[in-house]
Amino acid sequence: MAPDTNPAMAPGTAPDPRRVQIFQVSTLYGAATLAAALDAGQFGPRADARRLLLISHNAEIPETALRLETMTGYERIAARFDSTLDWNETVHPYHPATWAPRPEEAPLWQRVLRTAWDLGTAPVEVIVESIQVNPAKALAAVFAESSVEVYADGLMSYGPTRSDLAQSIAVRIRRVLHLDLVPGLRPMLLSEYGVEPELVPDGAFRAVLAEIAEASRAEEAEGAPGAGEGDSPVARAIAAEPTALLLGQYLAALNLLTAEEEEELHVRMLRGAAAAGHRSVVFKPHPTAPARYSQVLDEEAERAGVRLTVLDGPLLAETFYERCRPRLVVGCFSTALLTAAVYYDIPVARVGTAEVLERLTPFENSNRIPLTVVDHLVADLEGGEEPAVPGAAPASLAPLVRAVGYCMRHKSHPGLREEATRFLAEHHAEPGIAHHFTPERLTQLGLPGATAATAPEPAGGTSRLRRGLARARRG
């Protein structure tokens, strides 16, 4: 059991009587989202609560993954909190993605954590990401009487909740805080439980990203021991005067592509940028991607006559947007594509999105909605479409997302069946729509585009439960 990583309270000191807000976070992008919400006053005045930042490292092998605390800008984000906690150390030797208390042990665990974290008897509020899985679900179970708030830091917020929640957790969720990555599109996340979404202001988030970029400048000014001026990854990338940035996601780790297919995907991004006239390109690999990815790109860049710089430092892609302002950002379905367009007005383009979408399994895979959004909004670099800033959601996007969301989790959203039926009756055969659905799923649900007639789907009791939860929350 690990205590607070900040200096502990002196022996005999009375616990702070204020309410406690525990903010669970696993990525710097998520931490930046929380920082923006705090700065915008969405969690009340700082003096009214003791704020704890609970860090979890959810990689398959956390000990070998890039740690959030080492990323550029982390310390400035952490300064908004009274202290920092490490969830991995707390549940060691268990993995944070798999450990959860047994129901009968939850009260004991709460007593243990209140002692270890000096919470005393203060009321606790829990703010988490990805409430459907651990560690968020485990934290909500331990503090069983606490209110729960969810923040969503990416495109998955526009899709349905990936799995059913226990009633004891669902009824306590107050809101979903999210970024306005697709202006005009309303998130589906937790909507089946009557939870309302709330926007984190654009200005507040952009200010936090600027603060992180300033931290990178400060690191360069201080210089690493033995490093010369301009020797940081960002400085080297900026010195190359790039006009395009390629985003790696390491889709092989999600079993969406093989390692060889993902290498080829990055090569296609480079070829597309070169064909569009970009002669200096930066590649931002995923932090857990193997080194050989950039080696394959190096060989392709040499053949294409393109200057390639690999931005492999522990920083957000948004830091590079802030510092360099490229004229093009290319990716598959990364959230960073939309942040480039929405917050920096940088034209974006996609590569390989349709192919990944078509092979994605199972149909309810939570990556489906991010793929759908990017495929529908962002220009196809290989298809001859001009890279652009997508802007507000077109009228066609919301009906498509809701229809896909219904097909993913139809028992959770029975009220969307009629709308999905109308949409598919009109559009299911269109080239830009057909690949978002599989004949098998349409057949299973008896929707237009089905390959055979099917029996009506059974009426599930889960929808009645969710309506009851929504009424309880409103009451």
Tell me the pLDDT tens digit for each residue of 402-446.
999 999 999 999 999 999 999 999 999 998 999 999 999 999 999
Tokens of 368: 């489906």
| Of the candidates 49, 378, 365, the residue with the CA atom closest to the CA atom of residue 182 | 378
- Options 1.10.3470, 3.40.50, 3.30.70, 3.30.43; CATH for 19-204 is 3.40.50
pLDDT value for 459: 43
Is the pTM higher than 0.75? The answer reads yes
Res. 324 pLDDT band, cuts 50 70 90: very high
User: 19-204 and 223-383 share one CATH topology?
Assistant: yes
* pLDDT of 224 above 80: no
Res. 24 pLDDT band, cuts 50 70 90: very high
Q: How many residues would you count in the chain?
A: 475
Condensed to tens digits (0 to 9), the pLDDT of residues 71-96 reads 999 999 999 999 999 999 999 999 98
pLDDT value for 170: 96
User: Position 70: which residue type?
Assistant: T
Distance CA 180, CA 334 (A): 15
The full set of domain ranges for the chain reads: 19-204, 223-383, 397-474
Domain covering 223-383, topology: Rossmann fold (3.40.50)
Higher-scoring residue by pLDDT: 413, 230: 413
Condensed to tens digits (0 to 9), the pLDDT of residues 187-213 reads 999 999 999 999 999 999 999 999 999
